Amino acid sequence: MEANYEKLYSELRKTKEELLAGMNNSEGSPVVQSFINEEIDDIDTALSKMMTGTYGKCEISGELIPYEVLEVIPTIKTINEMEVLGYFFRKPILMN
Go through the domains of the chain in sequence order and give each one's CATH number: 3-88 (1.20.120.910)
- Amino acid identity at 80: N
**In this model, does residue 94 exceed pLDDT 70?**
no
- Cα–Cα distance, 12 to 29 (Å, whole number): 24
- Amino acid identity at 72: V
Residues near 66 by beta carbon (within 8 Å), at least 6 away in sequence: 82
Q: What is the pLDDT of residues 23-62, one digit of tens each?
A: 776 677 788 888 899 999 999 999 999 999 999 999 999 9
pLDDT value of residue 64: 94
- Amino acid identity at 48: S
Mean pLDDT, all residues of the chain: 86
pLDDT value of residue 26: 65
Residues near 45 by beta carbon (within 8 Å), at least 6 away in sequence: 75, 77
- Cα–Cα distance, 80 to 94 (Å, whole number): 27
**In this model, does residue 88 exceed pLDDT 90?**
no
* Between residues 92 and 60, the one the model is more confident about: 60
